[in-house]
């Protein structure tokens, strides 16, 4: 594909999280003792740790991830920052420093891609919030750091300059658009890396207070919608060394389907897909070269 040949960045595509109950039998073969993380690493080249948004993992757990991934040099894990620092915003500096150090085994082993700070829709572009981001960023030192904001007030030339001047990656997101929501873009604010997160477009449940996690993220992008992001991704790959595409529409493995489809569309080739996922989503046959057993799917 001509466009992908002109790009200079490396594409990393994968899901947000890898341990969901509704993935059993649909993503992972049922009734097996499969190492889920390594299964994801077999078909993707990155994953976003989202459980760290709710609690800090133990140092022992992080060491385990690092050791298990040590023989997969092209696989990276991104870390979603604890909500205590982005949503609650009441903590001691030592807590944040400790959180960052928790992931030193991954960083030292070359398996850490980037940290992601996700702020709520209510976090608007005002001077005190920009200062707050700057203050938090100091604790990450030389670790790559991406900032996800959801309010459209950050979609200004001045805001882009703020992120660029501070060496911060501004996340390009896809979300249900309501009012002043941040709109999709091909924004790149640092030559080191770009970051795309696709949340789905389940507008009916996105802001519904009683909607559960699965209801909010129950969405499967169609090929027309994916091609919108293919075009943005190709543009971003021409401006940065790495581009992470993280699919967060995790319900029933839909994130994996869309991540695989996007890679195929961006790179212009057919790709390997998990056999269980191919059985659950037959349309994947159009993108798949063969499953892990070598059976031709198309």
Give the sheet arrangement for strand 193-198, strand by strand: 10-15, 242-247, 193-198, 172-174
Instruction: Dump pLDDT digits (tens) for 50-77.
Output: 999 999 999 999 999 999 999 998 999 9
Instruction: Give the C-alpha distances (Å, rounded to integers) separating 268 from 131, 167, 230, 260, 288.
Output: 42, 31, 10, 12, 12
| Rounded Cα gap, residues 226 and 268, in angstroms | 13
Tokens of 252: 């029933």
pLDDT at residue 20, rounded to an integer: 93
Q: Are 172 and 195 in contact (CB under 8 A)?
A: yes
In sequence order, the β-bridge partners of residue 193 are 242
Instruction: Determine the pLDDT at residue 290.
Output: 65
Task: State pLDDT tens for residues 69-115.
Answer: 999 989 999 999 999 999 999 999 999 999 999 999 999 999 999 99
Q: Which domains does the chain have, with CATH numbers?
A: 2-268 (3.20.20.410)
pLDDT at 58: 97
- 45's tokens: 């080249």
- Which residues of the chain fall below pLDDT 50? 1-6, 291-298
Q: In this predicted structure, what is the pLDDT of residue 143?
A: 97
* Confidence at residue 210, expressed as pLDDT on a 0 to 100 scale: 73
Closest by Cα among 252, 251, 296, 244 to 273: 296
Q: What is the pLDDT of residue 203?
A: 76
């Amino acid at each position: 594909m001509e466009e992908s040949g002109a790009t200079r960045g490396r594409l990393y595509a994968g899901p947000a999280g890898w341990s969901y109950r509704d993935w059993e039998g649909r993503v992972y073969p049922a009734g097996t003792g499969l190492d889920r993380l390594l299964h994801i690493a077999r078909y993707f080249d990155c994953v976003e740790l989202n459980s760290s948004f709710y609690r800090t993992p133990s140092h022992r757990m992080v060491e385990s991830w690092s050791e298990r991934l040590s023989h997969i040099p092209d696989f990276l894990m991104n870390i979603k920052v604890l909500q205590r620092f982005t949503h609650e915003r009441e903590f001691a500096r030592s807590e944040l420093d400790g959180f960052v150090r928790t992931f030193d085994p991954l960083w030292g082993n070359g398996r850490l891609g980037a940290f992601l700070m996700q702020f709520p829709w209510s976090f608007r572009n005002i001077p005190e919030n920009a200062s707050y981001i700057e203050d938090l960023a100091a604790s990450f030192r030389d670790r790559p750091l991406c900032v996800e904001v959801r309010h459209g007030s950050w979609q200004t030339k001045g805001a882009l300059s703020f992120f660029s001047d501070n060496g911060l990656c501004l996340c390009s997101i896809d979300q249900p658009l309501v009012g002043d929501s941040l709109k999709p873009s091909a924004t790149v604010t640092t030559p080191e890396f770009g970051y795309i997160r696709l949340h789905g477009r389940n507008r009916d449940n996105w802001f519904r207070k009683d909607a559960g996690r699965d209801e909010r993220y129950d969405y499967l992008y169609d090929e027309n919608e994916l091609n919108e992001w293919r075009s943005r991704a190709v543009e971003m790959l021409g401006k940065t060394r790495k581009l992470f595409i993280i699919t967060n529409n995790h319900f029933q493995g839909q994130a994996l389907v869309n991540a695989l489809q996007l890679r195929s569309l961006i790179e212009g080739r057919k790709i390997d897909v998990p056999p269980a996922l191919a059985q659950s989503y037959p349309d994947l046959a159009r993108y798949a070269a063969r499953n892990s057993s070598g059976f031709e799917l198309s």
